[in-house]
Amino acid sequence: MSTQLSRLANGLRVVSHHMPHLETVSLGVWVATGARHEQEDEHGISHLLEHMAFKGTERRSATDIAEEIEAVGGELNAATSLETTAYFARILKGDIGIALDILADILQIPRYAQDELEREREVILQEIAATRDSPDEIAY
């Protein structure tokens, strides 16, 4: 089991760790954007876009995304930190193409419906309020 770092022709860095005894694949895309990269008038935009990730693309509705990944027992998620936003999947290795195609859609052709943006904005405001009530989060 060795970890390898390679670079595609388009400059994309790929880190891989071959584990032949497993039947699943975990893959993710880490984008160098987070709260530390935002200007004052952009505060929260990375988090909002992360929330919008699975709300639909030009090719798939939110329902299509969920049903397609769940039909093969996979899972999708996303997370935002101060430095990065990550979009990731775990799926059976024979179905890796499905996960790659969905992640590519999410990153390359997202659809941001105004009503969904407003809904997710409210969710994030609630998360901020909950964080303010948590001394551990404030200290970090």
% of the chain with per-residue pLDDT over 70:
95
Active-site annotation, residues: 50
Cα–Cα dist 108/90, whole Å = 20
Domain residue spans of the chain: 3-133
CA dihedral (104, 108, 109, 112) positive or negative = positive
Instruction: Provide CB contacts within 8 A for 47, sequence distance 6+.
Output: 35, 80, 124
Q: Name the most confidently modeled range: 41-50, 59-68, 125-134.
A: 59-68
pLDDT of residue 133: 75
Q: pLDDT tens digit string along 1-38?
A: 689 999 989 888 889 998 999 999 999 999 989 989 88
pLDDT of residue 131 exceeding 90, the answer is no
140's CB contacts (< 8 A; 6+ apart) are none
Helices (H), the chain: 45-52, 62-70, 96-108, 114-132, 135-139
DSSP state of 61: B
Architecture of the domain delimited by 3-133: 2-Layer Sandwich (3.30)
